[in-house]
Amino acid sequence: MTLLRIVLTYELVTTHIWKESGRQGVSIFDKNYVLSAYIGQIYVIGFTTAIKMTIDYVRNLKRTKEIENHNLENELSMLKSQLKPHFFFNTLNNLYSLILEKSDEAPDTVIKLSEFMSYVIYQGNKKKVPLIEEVKYIRNYIDLERLRFGERVEVEFAMSNQMESYKIPPLLLLQFIENAFKHGTYYELEKVWLYFGLEIDDSWLIFKTKNKKKCNKEEVKDNKSQGLGLKNMRRRLGLLFDENYEFVVNEDESNYAITLKIPLE
pLDDT tens sequence across 120-144: 778 877 888 999 999 998 998 888 8
The yes-or-no verdict on residue 254 having pLDDT over 50 is: yes
Q: Which CATH number fits domain 81-263: 3.30.565.10, 3.90.1300.10, 3.30.70.260, 3.30.300.20?
A: 3.30.565.10
Q: Are 256 and 183 in contact (CB under 8 A)?
A: yes
pTM exceeds 0.85 for this model: no
Q: Are 256 and 214 in contact (CB under 8 A)?
A: no
Tell me phi and psi for residue 105, to 5 degrees.
Answer: -80, -15
Cα torsion for 48, 53, 59, 62, to the nearest 10°? Answer: -130
To 10 degrees, what angle do helices 85-100 and 105-118 make?
160
Backbone torsion region of residue 61, taken as left when φ is above 0, otherwise alpha when ψ lies between -120 and 50, otherwise beta: alpha
Per-residue confidence band for 18, with pLDDT thresholds at 50, 70 and 90: very low
What DSSP string describes the chain?
-HHHHHHHHHHHIIIIIHHHHT-----TT-HHHHHHHHHHHHHHHHHHHHHHHHHHHHHHHHHHHHHHHHHHHHHHHHHHT---HHHHHHHHHHHHHHHHTT-THHHHHHHHHHHHHHIIIIITTSS-EEHHHHHHHHHHHHHHHHHHHGGGEEEEEEE-S--TT-EE-TTTTHHHHHHHHHHH--TT-SSEEEEEEEEE-SSEEEEEEEEE---STTHHHHHHHHHHHHHHHHHHHHHHHTT--EEEEEE-SSEEEEEEEEE--
Sign of the dihedral through C-alpha 231, 236, 238, 239: positive
The yes-or-no verdict on residue 232 having pLDDT over 90 is: no
Could you read off the pLDDT of 185-213 as tens digits, one per residue? 765 567 788 999 999 988 899 999 998 87
Task: Spell out the domain ranges in the chain.
Answer: 2-73, 81-263
pLDDT at 161: 73
Given the DSSP bridges, would you call strands 204-212 and 129-130 parallel, antiparallel or unpaired? unpaired
Per-residue confidence band for 223, with pLDDT thresholds at 50, 70 and 90: low
Cα torsion for 158, 161, 163, 168, to the nearest 10°? Answer: -10
